[in-house]
């Protein structure tokens, strides 16, 4: 009976000297281990706006909104930090070498208003030159043409996006090409318009 008591007394004395085990948070910040999987953050320079992350997210914590009604069509990639479960699926699925969205070490996510619990980035959108339908983000088309190399020259939408982004062609050259017959095909088009222009004999 005595021995256990002495042992526990030692523990108690130790606790008195060392002080409480609990941390001083929020007075002192808590910095987690570098391996910690915290809130994912978009990298607007790397992300191409392909929506793969939205597709795989198990908790529907990623959404997007396409704004096409003003002069700068753009896609908002929205990450809802309140529903995110920090699983890392988005990072694992990201086509931009897993760098478009990356889990950070950040874990402090309290908000007074739930509407604030979201982070957005903007990506420029490419619209169909005939019908104005969303094709993809400009960076995404560039990404595809880089990925498939010279095969991109089989699709005007792809090679125009690519050449434009490289600054090799500008609007004037495109309009010059357009004038030499079948100008309707020499455009950046959505899949439906491309099919229609190909099938019609104008």
Partner 1 sequence: MPKSVIPIGPYHPLQEEPEFFTLTVDGETVVDIDVQVGYNHRGIEKLSERRTFDQSTFVIERICGICSTSHPFAYTRAVEDIIPVEVPERAKYIRTIIAEGERIHSHLLWLGLAGHFLGYNTLYMWVWKLREEILDVMEILSGNRNNYAMFKPGGVRRDIKSEDIPLVIKKIDSIVPTLDRLKKAILDDPVLHARLKGIGILTREDAIDYGALGPTSRASGVAKDVRKDAPYGAYDKVEWDMIVTETGDVFEKVIVRVLEVYESIKIMKTCLLNLPEGEIDLNIKDIPPGEGIGSAEAPRGETFHYVRSDGTNRPARHKVRAPTFMNLPTFKVTVIGETISDATIILAAIDPCYCCTERMAVRNTKGKKIYHGQDLIRLSQEKTEHIKRKMGIK
Q: Which residues make up the interface to partner 1 (CB under 8 A)?
A: 1, 3-4, 7-8, 11, 21, 32-33, 35-37, 56, 58-59, 85-89, 92, 103
Smallest separation, CB 138 to ligand SF4 (Å)? 13
Tokens of 192: 């439906």
Contacting ligand SF4 (CB under 6 A), which of 52, 128, 152, 186?
52
**Binding span for ligand SF4 by CB under 6 A among 53-61, 66-74, 157-165, 190-198:** 53-61
Binders of ligand SF4: how many residues, by CB under 6 A? 27
Euclidean distance between CA atoms 186 and 50, whole angstroms:
24
Residue 81 · residue 109 · CB < 8 Å: yes
Euclidean distance between CA atoms 159 and 96, whole angstroms:
20
Residue 101 partner contact from partner 1, ligand SF4, none using kind-dependent CB cut-offs of 5 to 8 Å? ligand SF4
What residues between 87 and 126 interact with ligand SF4 by CB under 6 A? 87-90, 93-96, 100-101
Tokens of 26: 């929020």
Residue 195 exposure: Cα atoms within 13 Å on the Cβ side: 3
Residue 84 partner contact from partner 1, ligand SF4, none using kind-dependent CB cut-offs of 5 to 8 Å? ligand SF4
Residue owning tokens 């357009």: 178
Q: Verify binding: residue 49, ligand SF4, rule CB under 6 A.
A: yes
Euclidean distance between CA atoms 84 and 62, whole angstroms:
8
Residue 123 · residue 86 · CB < 8 Å: no
Euclidean distance between CA atoms 100 and 96, whole angstroms:
6
Q: Pick between residue 9 and residue 173 the one whose CB is nearest to partner 1.
A: 9
Residues that bind ligand SF4 (CB under 6 A): 40, 47-53, 57, 59, 61-62, 77, 79, 84-90, 93-96, 100-101
């Amino acid at each position: 009976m005595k021995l256990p008591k002495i042992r526990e007394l030692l523990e108690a004395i130790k606790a008195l000297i060392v002080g409480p085990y609990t941390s001083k948070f929020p007075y002192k910040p808590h910095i987690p281990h570098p391996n910690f999987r915290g809130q994912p953050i978009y990298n607007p320079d790397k992300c191409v706006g392909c929506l793969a992350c939205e597709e795989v997210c198990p908790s529907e914590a990623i959404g997007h909104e396409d704004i096409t009604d003003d002069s700068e069509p753009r896609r908002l990639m929205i990450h809802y930090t309140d529903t995110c479960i920090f699983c890392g699926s988005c990072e694992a699925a990201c086509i931009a070498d897993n760098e478009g969205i990356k889990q950070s070490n950040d874990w402090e996510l309290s908000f007074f208003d739930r509407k604030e619990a979201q982070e957005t980035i903007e990506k420029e959108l490419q619209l169909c030159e005939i019908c104005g339908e969303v094709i993809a983000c400009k960076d995404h088309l560039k990404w595809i043409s880089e990925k498939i190399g010279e095969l991109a020259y089989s699709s005007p939408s792809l090679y125009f996006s690519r050449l434009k982004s490289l600054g090799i062609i500008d609007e004037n050259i495109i309009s010059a090409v357009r004038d030499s017959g079948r100008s309707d095909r020499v455009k950046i088009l959505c899949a439906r318009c491309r099919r229609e222009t190909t099938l019609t004999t104008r």
